[in-house]
Structure 1
Amino acid sequence: MANFKRGKFLERIIEGIFKNAGFYTEVNTRKWGFETDVFEKKEGYNVIVQCKQHDKAYLNIKEKLFEWMGKGIYAKVDKVVLVVSGREIREDEYAKARELGVGLWSEDLVQQLLKLDKGDLKEKINRLIGFKEEEYQKKKEEEKEREIEEIRKEIFDRRKAEARVRKEKREKSILMRVWKFVKWVVKLVWD
């Protein structure tokens, strides 16, 4: 039971780190049919984190790296991070993580992150997970421009339709007046 509590505590620590770095977070989510300890999202950039607290139990990190790489591909997230606490991470495990594109964080790294102020934390987290804020700001601005252009087109199309309706009403009005005039003339002639 103690490991379970410490594992949940680690999840909350990771959630807090990402929140302080400006991410939206969810803990123990089942968005993709499997449980993710922590899900983070920032400006369309999605990260899933799996926390492993193992003081005494055996943990095959390479196996977990493959497992979570696959889950990340399935979930179509931008980054997967495996946080390991209570056990040293070997260099070959770090190498495998780099090869697979999975972030592998040690307890020491988490402790370092906890000591950073918000600005430095944001910068460090962005670097660790490969989040390039400038690219996403540019992407966001481009999306905003596309939305504005769509709104402009919609307004233009609506005005064009309204102008067509007004023209049809005018033409109908003119035809009605002509028809009334014709009826009046016919009435004059017949009377």
Structure 2
Amino acid sequence: MQTLVLATSNKGKLAELADLLAPLHFDVQPQSAFAIDDAVEDGLSFIENAILKARHASRSSGLPAMADDSGLAVDALGGAPGIYSARYAGEHGNDLANLTKLLADLTEVPAGERQAQFHCVLAFVRHADDPVPVIAHGIWRGQIAFAATGSHGFGYDPVFLPDDANGSAAELTPAEKKQLSHRAKALKLLLAQLQVTA
């Protein structure tokens, strides 16, 4: 069984992706297992950052790698927080501060104008210099709530109201989220491409 390095240190993403990747029959390992530091994310899009992270993990490990770059894009904020979703409030990974800032920024935005999308771009490289990385882009559409609800998930899940579910993303069971989320959508697209190109 070939090892696949997941280029993330985010425990929530790692748990979701490891579960969703089971059909690939890889031995999925986080980059921390190889003492790989996070890549510098200086791309201007989810796609650029996902490729940067995958190449960095592959170059550091000598193994195939997959990276996820994802975030929330809110129409009323011109697509923000976008690629800065994890550090929207300044400190990387502070979910509560990010949620608080997002809700504050949307205080004056009425119910009918709070459309948003979760984006997930997955990049898979066979080696660090792979000229044809496999890219998949999943989108989960919904609205931003006026207050956080639910205790499942992570990140912006408590304030994201998916169009295809009742309640917030944080009120979905892990099994429901696995079927509906932007990450699930991206992975289905990625798996279809990998089966064609394998």
Structure having the larger proportion of residues in helix: 1
Q: Same fold, TM exceeding 0.5?
A: no
User: Higher relative contact order by CA 8 Å / sep ≥ 6: 1 or 2?
Assistant: 2
